[in-house]
A and B are shown apart, each in its own frame.
Chain A
């Protein structure tokens, strides 16, 4: 069942090109829309099963020998993500139909989008860690393709490459963690790993596993210090930013941490790293967001900061914190998704996203403005019962305060955490207000806009309206999704199925005071933003991870180009030497290690003088070619070797070989004689004696190796020869007495066919080289 769900987007991606070709009057998006919509409904229909505490699963064998099964299961956490992927996915596709004009490469766009959708579903539904990893990398690739959708823009390709490098680097780290995990827990299934929790925690590999896994999660979820790819990813079309880079893909890291929480949660290291990095990201993201001038950049840093907040709560690992994290994953998707869509609308209708040129748009686009107000206020956590963002933020404050009751390491740091939480939230408040008031309030600067702004078409507004509808609805009635959606998700992260009633009013308590402080300080800072914004320029050294990234990438590029140039010199001699030296060294080591050299004297053919004599002449002739300076003499000496070989074939009872060798040698010598007149005279080697010595050593060792291999293979017998089969069946099956011929034309007939093909190609090449000589000369 689940297999089909995951396969559906991939199938659709295959078929969408055909549909678009047949019907080009309809926007391709309309063909795509049913896919996520149908999936969404299918997932919704599974909700009752989960509410009973059961899970849906389906298993198919893929690579049983490696214990890799396509086993998928749907529990509370997967359900939440699946609904986000398909739900937001439907809205984004609908939005994109109006956002992207039909002149764009729509098929490409939707194929990438569907690939992403399918692989993201794969990530959140996989039980097998290696299947999860495969889908994980698929999301990186489809994200790369989508960011680079407008590939003719330099910023797009830069952003695409950056996101790819960072997330794939993290992906590889994660693969390392997964391999270590599967070794430690002796299973590839996540659920069985959770069952073997104690083995993993007590193993020596626990710290490496945790660190590697978290690098994977942090890169994907743009956590400090890997966050800098996300703002650059904003070069993607806005529907993509809304979908991948705020609602779904960047939450894959969150998913990973949540999924493995049952293994790691409760250990000090997990708490310190996850909560620490989360808090840094929360504060840094929100502080940096307040200095941006591009609407999407503000939203990007805001996303970084919000993801940091969710990460922090997962690090806390307490029941209330987990519920808050899960709740915020949902809320963030609703308000951030809608804000991105509105940023896209503003861009679409005014031609710019630069907040310095915007302002006063409220009168021109009242609906968008209203939606933006709701989204931004929810993001800021304004304490009103109509904003879902406030509810989860208050739970965040609550859980940070309650840490003091926790024993262990969490308790000692507990006093500082609420402070950091408040600082991060103050700046969140500031940029939210900056974003919405800077764009929609104040005086309109129409002279700075490329076109006269007006309200977006209704089609573009539907999606943000639905999302904002959720913001308000969940704000008013949070328990609507609590029992069916949030509680099962929390249960799969913490392990126990506890119901916590969500409500707006908890009385005058700590969290509410914290919220009020945020609003008060935030309002002051937001009003005076223009005055203190220049402080950003004085931050010493521009503590940017961008530079680190750039240094690493440049360093890698110059290193690899230097390294490649070091051995790719264009000298055939060097290449041949490298290949031969490697061959000789590796084979010698292998022979030495396996004790492969054997020499047996008991089973030898008798030595007869004619054969020895011919062999001796051949050897002398071969060595003599090295010193030949007369072309004709060299050719004759080579002929001596060839004819000597045919004689040996006669002695060794190989009549067919002898005949063929005789003919071939004659033709070759004739050919040499034809050509040599056109070739320059052979020169004495002008090489230095050290070079000659190197050549000699390489040549001698290669020859010696061949002799050693020949003697050893003759002296040892590991398997029965298969030749008897050919002797027995030559007449029976091939109908011929000459066994060699039967092998060539019958048993190994295809080999001979290709042999003829090779000969034909050589002939064709020779013909072309001679025939088209003049034409080539004319071009010069």
Chain B
């Protein structure tokens, strides 16, 4: 299972990177969302999957799934949510001000 999940994480990553390399802002934002999904899966897989019970202490049970990656991912989910929504609004505002969302038209001038 871990190997399959590693491949899935890689696939999500590849798709995310491909989108980030595109010119349209919306695609770039979608790309970052895919990247964070891939990263979360990646972290989870590194801590081995499906060993023991969910990490909530219950009398008599000794084996639990690794709680540490889960804690890290939880933080990361929230942060990537912040980043994605910020980027989305940024893309929206950029389009409002510049009437374009193509990256190669948004280069600015030499004076900047």
Q: With CB as the reference atom, state the residue of chain B lying closest to A751.
A: B75
Chain A residues in 8 Å Cβ range of B73: 654, 657
With A706-B38, A766-B86 in contact, is A752–B95 under 8 Å at CB?
no
Partner of A727, one of B21, B28, B55, B86: B55
Which of A177-185, A484-492, A606-614 forms contacts with chain B? Answer: A606-614
Q: DSSP class of B's interface residues: helix, strand, loop or mixed? A: helix
The segment from A240-248, A359-367, A531-539, A695-703 that touches chain B is: A695-703
Nearest-CB distance from B46 to chain A (Å)?
5
Task: Give residues of chain B (61-89) contacting chain A, Cβ–Cβ below 8 Å.
Answer: 64-68, 70-71, 73-75, 77-79, 81-86, 88-89
Kindly list chain A residues whose C-beta atoms are within 8 Å of the C-beta of B53. 653
Is the beta-carbon distance between B103 and A653 smaller than 8 angstroms? no
Residue A63 interfacial (CB < 8 Å): no
Instruction: Judge if A585 is at the interface, Cβ distance under 8 Å.
Output: no
B76 to chain A, nearest CB (A): 9
Residues of chain B contacted by A726 (CB below 8 angstroms): 67-68
Contact with A along B18-42 (1 / 0, CB 8 A): 1111111111101001100110111
CB-defined contacts of B19 to chain A, threshold 8 Å: 625-626
Is A759 a contact partner of B70 (Cβ separation < 8 A)?
A: no
Contact at B33–A622, with CB atoms within 8 Å? no
- Take A683-B24, A770-B89 as given contacts and tell me if A758 and B79 are in contact as well, using a CB distance cutoff of 8 Å: yes
Whether A671 sits at the interface, judged by CB under 8 Å, is: yes
| Cα–Cα, bound, A604→B49 (Å) | 8
Give the residue of B11, B47, B50, B78 whose beta carbon is less than 8 angstroms from that of A622.
Answer: B11
Are the C-beta atoms of B101 and A680 separated by less than 8 Å?
yes
The reply to whether B82 and A759 contact each other, CB–CB distance below 8 Å, is yes
Q: Is the CB of B64 within 8 A of A727?
A: yes
Q: Which of A676-730 contact B (CB under 8 A)?
A: 676, 678-680, 682-683, 685, 687, 695-696, 698-700, 702-707, 709-711, 713-714, 721-723, 726-727, 730
Q: Which residues on the A side are within 8 Å of B68 (C-beta)?
A: 721-723, 726, 743
Contact status of A606 and B1, CB under 8 A, knowing A675-B89, A769-B90:
yes
Do B74 and A678 have beta carbons less than 8 Å apart? no
Q: Are B17 and A752 in contact, CB atoms less than 8 angstroms apart?
A: no
Known: A576-B21, A625-B34. A721 touches B66 (CB 8 A): yes
A570 touches B107 (CB 8 A): yes
- Look across to chain B and name the residue whose beta carbon is closest to the beta carbon of A642: B37
Binding site for B on A (CB under 8 A): 570-573, 576-577, 580, 599, 601, 603-608, 611-612, 615, 618-619, 622-623, 625-626, 631, 634, 638, 641-642, 645, 648-649, 651-657, 660-661, 664, 667-668, 671-672, 675-676, 678-680, 682-683, 685, 687, 695-696, 698-700, 702-707, 709-711, 713-714, 721-723, 726-727, 730-731, 737-740, 743-744, 748, 751-752, 755, 758-759, 761-763, 765-766, 769-770, 773, 776-777, 780
* Shortest 4 CB-CB contacts between residues of A and residues of B: A703-B14, A707-B10, A762-B82, A699-B18
Using A703-B38, A710-B42, A748-B71 as known contacts, list a sample of 15 further A-B pairs with CB atoms less than 8 Å apart, ordered by residue number in A. A606-B1, A607-B4, A619-B12, A622-B34, A648-B5, A649-B44, A652-B44, A679-B26, A685-B23, A698-B21, A706-B42, A727-B55, A739-B67, A740-B67, A758-B79
